Amino acid sequence: MKQTVLVSGGAGYIGSHTAVELINAGFDVVIADNLSNSDMSGVEGVRKITGIDVPFVNVDCCDTEAFRKVFEQYEFDSIIHFAAFKAVGESVADPMKYYHNNLLSFMNVINLMREFNRHNIVFSSSATVYGEADQLPVTEQTPRKPATSAYGNTKQMCEDILRDSVNAYESLNGIALRYFNPIGAHPSALIGELPRGVPQNLVPFITQTAAGVRECLSIFGDDYPTPDGSCLRDYIDVVDLAKAHVVAIARMVDGKSKTRYEIFNVGTGNGVSVFELVRGFERVNDLKLNYKVAPRRPGDVVAIWADTSLANEELGWKAERSLDDTLASAWAWEKHVRGL
Ligand code: NAD
Ligand code: WQD
């Protein structure tokens, strides 16, 4: 029987790519989003790529009554919960905005799943839960470090809420996917990342600089204890990341989970420096980027990348797209957005 998946936050960057991959894999999809950090272009892009008139509900997951109607209207057994705010700096400046939105929306999902006897949930977690890890690469067993932002804290708290809920309520199965640094866009260039205001993340800042929207990229620090002095991260292609969600849902639907709550790292397994990324972007797209070295950004970890063995072995998932192809897709998307 065809399975339906509710994708909360599905108008956003990762959610829209995941909706496409779910449909490609034979699932039906319902998107629920309040467009607080997105617009309808993501949903329209999903519809265009797949040729399916994917249902969209404009709803705030924090609004219990309104969200309940989505559960009443649609017969999904699985949910992928992307809906959250994600700006680390903003979360430090205004923590209650983050605790309210990220915790309440997630608790509503869990409560409504119980009320309506819906079974499977994937939660969008983050490598931010590891902080500055003592050993690299990080495995799922690597201890989490105390969060240094309200955003990071909401990811840790939601992981714990999911663990405790699955332990207590037998009807629930949960998977937390810890994303490393998602970048790139769909090969069609019809969906991608749409940051509002000045981008905080590296790749959107690079593409906007290349497009002339930003004057100059600042590389935050060249004196870290790394081979070239810049920070190391695990940049994961957004389509590969989207596919990890499909296999996570299928694992629960097919009853293949080893335990009812599981955690998987979703990365490539490679640490890439800021300089390497910038030079790769220039080479692949045959352009020169205006950049300068700037002071370190407070709060940055020096280096983090994933041990992906568990996802490789248990989910049968592996990152496939090359960094070059991903960086080309990021630029193709920026050109699409700017009409270049
Ligand atoms: P995004 O902002 O593009 O997508 C999130 C979507 O959720 C947006 O469309 C927004 O409008 C919606 N939303 C927010 N609060 C809502 C609410 N209360 N009700 C309904 N909709 C709501 O962000 P993204 O990059 O696609 O991230 C998706 C998820 O992945 C988030 O939970 C984020 O914390 C997590 N994550 C992202 C990254 C990253 O670097 N992008 C890394 C790790 C984890
Ligand atoms: C990557 C590298 C910067 C911008 C953040 C969140 C994390 C997760 C992913 C959600 C770092 C450097 C950046 C710039 C730069 N999100 N940089 N110039 O910090 O690894 O992770 O996004 O869960 O929680 O903290 O990603 O893209 O901001 O930075 O030199 O203009 O690029 O210092 O080394 P980060 P990022």
Instruction: Concatenate the DSSP letters of all residues of 251-292 into one string.
Output: HHHTT--SSSEEEEEES-S--EEHHHHHHHHHHHHT----EE
Q: What is the pLDDT of residue 2?
A: 84
Q: Is the CB of 219 under 6 A from ligand 2?
A: yes
Q: Mutual orientation of helices 274-285 and 202-210 as an angle, nearest 10°?
A: 40
The ranges of the chain with pLDDT < 70 are none
Which tens digit of pLDDT belongs to each residue from 204-214? 999 999 999 99
Which one of the ligands is nearest to 182 CA?
A: 1
Mutation to probe ligand 2, out of 102, 201, 272 (largest number of atoms < 8 A from CB): 201
3-state SS, residue 233:
strand
Q: What is the pLDDT of residue 261?
A: 98
Report the distance separating Cα 316 and Cα 76, nearest Å.
Answer: 24
B/e letters for 37-74, b = 16+ CB within 10 Å, e = fewer, are bbeebbbbbbbebbeeebbbbebbbbeeebbbebbeeb
Q: How far apart are the first and last CA of the chain?
A: 44
Report the distance separating Cα 189 and Cα 212, nearest Å.
Answer: 19
Which tens digit of pLDDT belongs to each residue from 168-198? 999 999 999 999 999 999 999 999 999 999 9
Mutation to probe ligand 2, out of 215, 236, 300, 301 (largest number of atoms < 8 A from CB): 300
Q: Is the CB of 158 under 6 A from ligand 1?
A: no
- Cross-strand bridge partners of residue 33: 58
pTM, 2 dp: 0.99
CA atoms within 13 A on the CB side of 258: 8
Catalytic residue, chosen from 13, 98, 130, 151, is 151
Contact 21, 239 (CB under 8 A): yes
Report the distance separating Cα 237 and Cα 192, nearest Å.
Answer: 11
Annotation says 179 is catalytic:
no
Tell me which residue of 308, 304, 328 sits closest to 319, measured CA to CA.
308
B/e letters for 154-170, b = 16+ CB within 10 Å, e = fewer, are bbbbbbebbeebbeeee
